[in-house]
Structure 1
Amino acid sequence: MMGEIKQRWVVIFLLVAACKLQWAHGEPQVPCFFIFGDSLADPGNNNMLPTGAKTNYPPYGVDYPQGATGRFSNGKYAVDVLAEKLSFDHHIPPYATASGPILLQGVNYASGSAGIRDETGSHLGENIPMNKQLQHHQLTISRMAGIIGDNKTTQTRLNQCLYYVGMGSNDYLNNYFLPERYPTSKSFTPQAYAQALVAQYSEQIMTLYKNGARKFILPGLGNIGCVPQAIRLYSTNATVCVVDMNKAINFFNNELVALVDRFNKNLTDGKFVYVNSTGMIIQDPIAAGFRYFYQGCCEVTENGQCVPQSKPCATRSEYIFWDNFHPTESMNVITATRTYIAEARSDCYPIDVRSLALLDLATAKAI
């Protein structure tokens, strides 16, 4: 009797071990993950560019395993956390250094200070705007086809991948709201500017679609009027945040939601998901562990980035912002968690990223 019980426990132990091994070495939920964006996702693409918008120095990366890689944060980005939740065993590498078979699992093209418009952020130096990121992706597709061996199999793979496309913040922070450097605020009302931006963005997203992309994550813009640099530079008129900046962002987000609806209606072999960045406001930040809401964790320069080699705050998990623009890893984890599995119905529209990753596109029309 004791021998049978012991044998059963051995079998159970082996089954549990096998499940753990399968989980640890499980396949990613999608074959590849491509990322387009700005400093909220740049993993080091700007490191070798002549620009002030790069962060490959301490204290950036103080909580990231590889240190100061060029990430504009103390640790992981939201897209890094999403890659983990999608079961990738690595964070998606920067286009600047990615090569070989790892390309088959995706590339990160994001560039600090870049925007939908080519001129955005150019006063800081060189960056890689969305149009150029699309050119880089075209080169990646060619390299993938060379590794896989034929174009048809490559296209089939691309159809199943996730595409995270997060652009637009710099078109406001480093363009529209810098009238001394850019003419856009003189040429467009906030509503007209949002319409023009999203019209151009639509063409860029369609370029990806024509090149095989079918599963899109399109995050809306956060309330840029609440970032510490905006509060420092612009009048808040006795409010906490810069109201005019947040109103401008709302125009853009409304246009983007409408675009997602049009794409889902007209391109029925694909699926487009809007991530409600402004709606993911923590109702009780103190309960979430945050103590500092509108100030960064590090000493900053005039451009809002951390002073090189400076000592950051010790309690980084208590800060929403790392420097004067970018969120801490703690905030990024919350954003990514709610993007992957929506906490509220308004977090993602019409479905969350986990549902998108697992979605059989043949049934997408019904959702």
Structure 2
Amino acid sequence: MNLIDLHLWQKAYNWLCMSRIKSGHNADIWDLRFKWPNEGNLIFLQINAGVYQLSPMRIIHSRYGEAVAQWSARDALVLKWVALKIKGRLPVQAVCAHVAGQRGGRTSLAMTAQAISGGARYVYRTDIRGYYRNINKSQLLNHLYRFIHEPALRSLLYQYVHYCVDDGGEIHIPASGISRGCALSPLIGASLLWYMDVSFSERNDIFYSRYMDDFLFLSARRWPVRRAQKQLYEFFDSTGFECHPDKTQIGKISRGFDWLGIWFTSDGATGIAPRATENHRLRRLRLEEQARRSGRSRQETEIRVQMYVRRWNIWAESQLSAANEKNNGLNTLQASNRSRRRKWTQAKY
């Protein structure tokens, strides 16, 4: 066995234990942990032999009536290991702000503020309507197979893309899209639009950033933004995506726009965006309602809500602080873009 693979396998197991530490007492994670010394070796051997089969995702219904599709503990472990294996092999552009190394999008916030202070006057912001559920499976597999060549990994990726869902015995196979609740999904969501990211980041007349399915274009002139909009539509036509009409904005920066929860104007970052504030208010109301339904006392409810408010305030302060940073210049991003382009354009297919 490859020692590196074993290290990643143990790392994936540690991640799984932490991510499901609050699972119910009947959850399958506890069975896997109890049998881990033997079960872990068996699953690892099946993976390397190319015979491991993913199970259907199960629909979990919460006490509040919410339905969530979830991978079994064993499948989540395997998919996390796959994500660790292919992380450095799938191309991801530096302008993709949600991937590791971008400080949760805070680097993008700092560079957005610097682009505005550098003379940007026009903005185009949009996102993809239903990004995950509208991914073309054939296009995705072609993209993955271009960089991943091992039969065992290809088999697991094929099963991951062509997943099925078990809802009380009824098996449903989605015709398009991938599952959201998986360690692989953020990486694949970032890499799939790599071609688009490369094209936009090579342009010198716009500032471009992406956070998963959210796109931001800034420019000192109107027409570069218009051309970027047209080019984005052309990309979407070829991939089957479409812009979300309620989350699309184009015009002058002076009117203000929301990016990663921060409200920007021609003066830079001015505070938390109205949508983020409204989401915070609604989340507080839901927490209070859930606590009452579960029979918690008034004091317990207040403590729970206060803990959430404290975490949200930390997030808000962190985002605002990042948006006002002065030490992450645009040259850093441009240099990173050039180095990544050289790396992936020199790859042998």
**TM-score calculated relative to the size of structure 1:** 0.26
Comparing both structures, which one devotes a greater share of its residues to helix? 2
> Larger relative CO (CA 8 A, sep 6+): 1 or 2?
2
